Amino acid sequence: MYLKSIEIQGFKSFANKILFEFHNGITGIVGPNGSGKSNVADAVRWVLGEQRAKQLRGGSMQDVIFAGTELRKPQGFAYVAITLDNSDHQLAIDYDEVTVSRRLYRSGESEYKINGSTCRLKDISELFYDTGIGKEGYSIIGQGQIDKILSGKPEERRELFDEAAGIVKFKRRKAIAQKKLEDEKQNLVRVSDILSELE
Protein backbone atom coordinates (compact mmCIF):
# COMPACT_ATOMS: atom_id res chain seq x y z
CA MET A 1 0.00 0.00 0.00
CA TYR A 2 1.26 3.47 -0.75
CA LEU A 3 -0.02 7.00 -1.15
CA LYS A 4 -0.67 7.71 -4.83
CA SER A 5 -2.13 11.19 -4.70
CA ILE A 6 -3.61 14.00 -2.64
CA GLU A 7 -6.23 16.33 -4.10
CA ILE A 8 -6.86 19.57 -2.24
CA GLN A 9 -9.34 22.38 -2.89
CA GLY A 10 -10.28 25.27 -0.64
CA PHE A 11 -8.23 23.83 2.22
CA LYS A 12 -6.11 26.38 4.12
CA SER A 13 -3.75 28.15 1.66
CA PHE A 14 -4.91 26.02 -1.33
CA ALA A 15 -7.78 28.01 -2.82
CA ASN A 16 -7.63 26.31 -6.23
CA LYS A 17 -7.83 22.60 -6.87
CA ILE A 18 -4.34 21.07 -6.70
CA LEU A 19 -3.27 17.47 -7.26
CA PHE A 20 -0.08 16.02 -5.75
CA GLU A 21 0.94 12.76 -7.41
CA PHE A 22 3.48 10.50 -5.74
CA HIS A 23 5.59 7.98 -7.60
CA ASN A 24 8.25 5.44 -6.60
CA GLY A 25 10.98 6.69 -4.30
CA ILE A 26 11.02 9.68 -2.02
CA THR A 27 9.12 12.88 -2.74
CA GLY A 28 10.09 16.12 -1.06
CA ILE A 29 7.89 19.21 -0.92
CA VAL A 30 10.01 22.34 -0.75
CA GLY A 31 9.11 26.00 -0.61
CA PRO A 32 9.67 29.23 1.28
CA ASN A 33 8.46 29.71 4.85
CA GLY A 34 4.70 30.03 5.02
CA SER A 35 4.15 28.71 1.49
CA GLY A 36 1.93 25.83 2.67
CA LYS A 37 4.19 22.77 3.07
CA SER A 38 2.79 21.85 6.48
CA ASN A 39 -0.73 22.49 5.18
CA VAL A 40 -0.27 19.42 2.93
CA ALA A 41 0.39 17.23 5.99
CA ASP A 42 -2.55 18.91 7.77
CA ALA A 43 -4.75 18.03 4.77
CA VAL A 44 -3.84 14.34 5.12
CA ARG A 45 -4.51 14.39 8.88
CA TRP A 46 -7.82 16.14 8.26
CA VAL A 47 -9.08 13.71 5.63
CA LEU A 48 -8.22 10.83 7.95
CA GLY A 49 -10.73 12.26 10.40
CA GLU A 50 -8.86 14.70 12.63
CA GLN A 51 -11.52 16.45 14.76
CA ARG A 52 -9.24 18.59 16.91
CA ALA A 53 -8.77 22.01 15.29
CA LYS A 54 -5.70 22.58 17.47
CA GLN A 55 -3.94 19.60 15.90
CA LEU A 56 -4.46 21.36 12.57
CA ARG A 57 -3.06 24.60 13.98
CA GLY A 58 -6.44 26.34 13.97
CA GLY A 59 -8.92 27.73 16.48
CA SER A 60 -12.04 26.11 15.06
CA MET A 61 -12.59 23.49 12.39
CA GLN A 62 -13.91 26.16 9.97
CA ASP A 63 -10.38 27.65 10.01
CA VAL A 64 -9.31 24.97 7.54
CA ILE A 65 -11.48 26.58 4.84
CA PHE A 66 -9.55 29.00 2.62
CA ALA A 67 -10.12 32.36 4.32
CA GLY A 68 -9.42 34.57 1.30
CA THR A 69 -6.71 37.09 0.54
CA GLU A 70 -6.64 40.66 -0.74
CA LEU A 71 -7.04 39.28 -4.25
CA ARG A 72 -9.27 36.26 -3.67
CA LYS A 73 -12.64 35.69 -2.11
CA PRO A 74 -12.89 33.11 0.71
CA GLN A 75 -14.00 29.65 -0.34
CA GLY A 76 -17.31 28.12 0.75
CA PHE A 77 -15.88 24.68 1.49
CA ALA A 78 -12.69 22.71 2.03
CA TYR A 79 -12.16 19.44 0.20
CA VAL A 80 -9.37 16.85 0.48
CA ALA A 81 -9.14 13.41 -1.13
CA ILE A 82 -6.28 10.93 -0.77
CA THR A 83 -5.86 7.93 -3.03
CA LEU A 84 -3.97 4.87 -1.83
CA ASP A 85 -2.75 1.93 -3.85
CA ASN A 86 -4.26 -1.11 -2.16
CA SER A 87 -3.17 -3.83 -4.58
CA ASP A 88 -1.64 -5.75 -1.62
CA HIS A 89 -5.06 -5.51 0.11
CA GLN A 90 -3.57 -4.26 3.34
CA LEU A 91 -6.76 -2.25 3.74
CA ALA A 92 -9.67 -4.60 4.35
CA ILE A 93 -11.70 -3.44 1.37
CA ASP A 94 -12.20 -5.18 -1.93
CA TYR A 95 -10.58 -2.52 -4.14
CA ASP A 96 -7.06 -2.17 -5.54
CA GLU A 97 -7.30 1.58 -5.18
CA VAL A 98 -8.97 3.40 -2.31
CA THR A 99 -9.95 7.07 -2.31
CA VAL A 100 -11.01 8.65 0.96
CA SER A 101 -12.42 12.17 0.88
CA ARG A 102 -13.77 14.77 3.28
CA ARG A 103 -15.63 17.99 2.56
CA LEU A 104 -16.58 20.69 5.05
CA TYR A 105 -18.91 23.64 4.35
CA ARG A 106 -18.92 26.91 6.29
CA SER A 107 -22.34 25.92 7.65
CA GLY A 108 -20.55 23.10 9.51
CA GLU A 109 -22.07 20.42 7.29
CA SER A 110 -19.51 17.79 6.39
CA GLU A 111 -19.28 14.73 4.22
CA TYR A 112 -16.95 11.71 4.19
CA LYS A 113 -16.63 9.30 1.29
CA ILE A 114 -14.82 6.06 0.58
CA ASN A 115 -14.48 5.38 -3.15
CA GLY A 116 -17.27 7.84 -3.90
CA SER A 117 -19.80 6.39 -1.45
CA THR A 118 -20.88 8.51 1.48
CA CYS A 119 -19.78 6.99 4.77
CA ARG A 120 -19.38 7.79 8.45
CA LEU A 121 -16.19 9.04 10.05
CA LYS A 122 -16.24 5.75 11.98
CA ASP A 123 -15.94 3.81 8.70
CA ILE A 124 -12.81 5.73 7.78
CA SER A 125 -11.29 5.23 11.23
CA GLU A 126 -12.02 1.51 11.11
CA LEU A 127 -10.56 1.19 7.61
CA PHE A 128 -7.21 2.46 8.86
CA TYR A 129 -7.01 0.72 12.25
CA ASP A 130 -3.66 -1.03 12.75
CA THR A 131 -2.16 0.30 9.53
CA GLY A 132 -0.28 3.21 11.08
CA ILE A 133 -2.15 5.53 8.72
CA GLY A 134 -5.08 6.69 10.84
CA LYS A 135 -5.11 10.17 12.32
CA GLU A 136 -3.31 8.81 15.41
CA GLY A 137 -1.01 6.66 13.29
CA TYR A 138 2.73 7.08 13.06
CA SER A 139 2.88 7.49 9.29
CA ILE A 140 2.60 11.26 9.71
CA ILE A 141 5.24 12.56 12.09
CA GLY A 142 4.77 16.23 12.77
CA GLN A 143 7.29 18.75 14.01
CA GLY A 144 8.08 18.11 17.68
CA GLN A 145 6.24 14.78 17.71
CA ILE A 146 9.35 12.64 18.29
CA ASP A 147 10.11 14.73 21.35
CA LYS A 148 6.53 14.29 22.54
CA ILE A 149 6.75 10.53 22.09
CA LEU A 150 10.06 10.28 23.97
CA SER A 151 8.91 12.45 26.84
CA GLY A 152 5.32 11.17 26.86
CA LYS A 153 3.68 8.87 29.40
CA PRO A 154 4.40 5.12 29.01
CA GLU A 155 0.67 4.51 28.29
CA GLU A 156 0.78 6.98 25.38
CA ARG A 157 3.88 5.30 23.99
CA ARG A 158 2.17 1.93 24.39
CA GLU A 159 -0.62 3.11 22.02
CA LEU A 160 1.98 3.50 19.28
CA PHE A 161 3.26 -0.05 19.78
CA ASP A 162 -0.32 -1.39 19.86
CA GLU A 163 -0.96 0.20 16.48
CA ALA A 164 2.26 -1.26 15.03
CA ALA A 165 1.47 -4.69 16.48
CA GLY A 166 -2.00 -4.60 14.91
CA ILE A 167 -4.02 -5.05 18.08
CA VAL A 168 -5.88 -1.74 18.19
CA LYS A 169 -8.97 -3.12 16.48
CA PHE A 170 -9.17 -5.99 18.98
CA LYS A 171 -8.83 -3.58 21.90
CA ARG A 172 -11.61 -1.38 20.49
CA ARG A 173 -13.87 -4.42 19.97
CA LYS A 174 -13.11 -5.60 23.51
CA ALA A 175 -14.04 -2.18 24.90
CA ILE A 176 -17.35 -2.22 22.97
CA ALA A 177 -18.12 -5.78 24.18
CA GLN A 178 -17.31 -4.81 27.78
CA LYS A 179 -19.63 -1.82 27.54
CA LYS A 180 -22.44 -4.04 26.22
CA LEU A 181 -21.83 -6.54 29.02
CA GLU A 182 -22.00 -3.76 31.60
CA ASP A 183 -25.29 -2.47 30.10
CA GLU A 184 -26.74 -5.99 30.18
CA LYS A 185 -25.71 -6.40 33.82
CA GLN A 186 -27.59 -3.20 34.65
CA ASN A 187 -30.63 -4.51 32.76
CA LEU A 188 -30.50 -7.76 34.76
CA VAL A 189 -30.38 -5.82 38.02
CA ARG A 190 -33.45 -3.85 36.91
CA VAL A 191 -35.31 -7.05 35.90
CA SER A 192 -34.56 -8.69 39.23
CA ASP A 193 -35.79 -5.54 41.04
CA ILE A 194 -39.08 -5.69 39.11
CA LEU A 195 -39.41 -9.43 39.79
CA SER A 196 -38.90 -8.97 43.52
CA GLU A 197 -41.50 -6.19 43.53
CA LEU A 198 -44.00 -8.51 41.84
CA GLU A 199 -43.35 -11.41 44.22
> Could you say whether residue 152 binds ligand ATP (CB under 6 A)?
no
What part of residues 112-151 is at the interface with ligand ATP (CB under 6 A)? Answer: none
> Could you say whether residue 103 binds ligand ATP (CB under 6 A)?
no
End-to-end CA distance of the chain: 63
Cβ closest to ligand ATP, residue 73 vs residue 153 = 73
Confirm or deny that 148 is annotated as ligand binding.
Answer: no
Cβ closest to ligand ATP, residue 38 vs residue 125 = 38
Distance CA 79, CA 176 (A): 32
Closest approach of ligand ATP to the CB of residue 33, in Å: 4
What part of residues 34-73 is at the interface with ligand ATP (CB under 6 A)? Answer: 34-39, 63, 65-67
Please check whether residue 20 is in contact with residue 40, taking contact to mean a CB–CB distance below 8 angstroms.
Answer: yes
State the residues that interact with ligand ATP by CB under 6 A. 12-13, 31, 33-39, 63, 65-67
